Amino acid sequence: MRYTTVGRTGLEVSALGLGCNNFGMRIDQAAASRVVGAALDCGITLFDTADIYAGGRSEEILGKALGARRDDVVLATKFGGAIAPGPYGGGSSRRHVIRACEAGLRRLGTDHIDLYFQHYPDPRTPIEETLAALDDLVRAGKIRYAAASNLAAWQLADAVHTSRARGTVGFAAVQLEWNLLSRAAEHEAIPAAAHFGVGVIPYFPLASGLLTGKYRREEGFPEGSRLAALPYFASVATDANFAVVERLRTLAENTGRTMTGLALSWLVAQPTVASVLVGATSAEQVAGNAAALEDPSPELLADVTEAAAGHPG
């Protein structure tokens, strides 16, 4: 396993991180513990969850699965999503940030969170209020670093300038949807992160499984697969995306690699990327993803980029 630091911090994380959104939704405690154990065995140190995953069960399951290994990992979770109905069930106000952190610590069974992410931008709350609350949590020792998710480039720039002007903690990392089928972040958000020294942590790197090659245009979704189980994600299975998948399949076959390896290695090789979050429902998936990671040559990276862009050849 490769390791790198997050943005301009000294926080070291594994090149692959474990996304734990399946915990409590698709797998139970026993299965999640096997997944976490396999991740630790592979050298994975970044474990990412959120308070809205399975109504908080993901945090509880992850905390129990880590157990005595808690201090061997970088534990990340998120706040801001709606965890309850009504005006006080979500958002990024000081009131909610503090309460969400306290609740997350209880569910995770820990005294601190290493990376605490604002899950979504909150148009109702000034960013200076959110950053001041996060700064207080850092000073209190309840979180180590603040981070954000799903920000537009201008929102990231606004947060950076606000934190610098007010002398508060800033965002060390940003989570964005980024994979070979979803490239919109490359237009503005990724360059902004690079400019400000904010580490990028891509999620959905395998496009809900489409980039593994297990789905084919002419076949239905396999029973038990993510696209079959969660129709929300099935929108990725377009003709245009299948055309890219078929080109990548050909490239993988011609180079003796797996599609999973190409997709993950391409992301890990991007200079702004700190870690790539990959979900899993079995220990075998974790081990397979870790084994597929490699250091691709510049020529192979160019070929992957070309295949994903749809250029001839």
Calculate the CA dihedral of residues 223, 225, 230, 235 and round it to 10 degrees: -110
Calculate the CA dihedral of residues 286, 277, 117, 270 and round it to 10 degrees: 150
CB 75, CB 44: distance < 8 Å: no
Candidates 3, 53, 120, 145; catalytic one:
53
Structure tokens at 150: 């799903």
Comparing CA positions, the residue from 63, 65, 55, 53 lying closest to residue 22 is 53
- Indicate if 120 belongs to the active site: no
Q: Tokens 């157990």 identify what position?
A: 67
Comparing CA positions, the residue from 269, 291, 281 lying closest to residue 42 is 291
Q: In whole angstroms, what is the distance from residue 71 CA to residue 128 CA?
A: 31
- Positions marked catalytic: 53
